[in-house]
Structure 1
Amino acid sequence: MRLRARHPQCEHLAQGGRASPGNGRPPSRSPGPAHRLHTLRDRLTVEASAHLAAQLPELLRGAYYDGWTPSSVPIKYDTDGYVNRFVQEARVDAEDVPRMAAAVTTVVRDHVSPGTLESALDQLPNDICALLLQPA
């Protein structure tokens, strides 16, 4: 099963590519979109994370749960902590995180029922929500 997105950048991210650096070079490969979701997953409660994952496409859901330790969540961190974890999980540069996080949010929103993503985001501090909800 291949994850499809309406936004061209999201389609590229859904295929596991890195956001285009904007310098004319092809984007490098990095872990798939589920690894970019691990930072969000680990910040949510077990209940919210499971509710969000239940609506993801099957292949993405399996990757979403990969390496998850429910007994150690939610992990509390601020925006800087979120960006640092995203950089480690997705193996991207910190300056790419706002654009990529917003693109992944768009992909997730396109694949879950209305209100599901918002329910998960309600658990996050406002500054992290702002990072995730900016235009992709």
Structure 2
Amino acid sequence: MNYWLMKSEPDVFSIDDLKTKTTSWDGVRNYQARNHMKNMKQGDLVFFYHSSCKNIGIAGIAKVITEAYPDHTSWEPSNHYFDPKSTPDNPKWFMVDLEFVRKFPKIISLSSLKESPELKDMPLLKKGNRLSVMPVSEIEWQVINRKQSHTI
């Protein structure tokens, strides 16, 4: 199993929104983030991260339920994520489907993550890393889950 972190602005789509419905993670328009999604496997677990908000941090866990498939929103001229270079015959962008696993009782803040020496190499904590999809090592996954159990 692989582990991931995916960012979303909660005023657009939050962990509570995911709780009520499975979602297609569309609109990723960064090649590195897209490649991470293409490496996701069914059953992989994801930290759901709230960004660009008052309470930035990990809000819960989701699960990958479909492996990467072409992001059809890139073919729709009226869609915000339209890309004229992406076509059904030659898709440039991909998405995966996620389902809710659990919401943490309290968001694990970015500052709390930065306090853990075991997480010093985590891509999320590297200066200038703004990727919306990134891998999480098994050790990082375990450390963060231990933090979550201490926030209850």
TM-score (norm 1): 0.29
Q: Which has the larger radius of gyration?
A: 2
**More helix per residue: 1 or 2?**
1
**More strand per residue: 1 or 2?**
2
TM-score (norm 2): 0.27
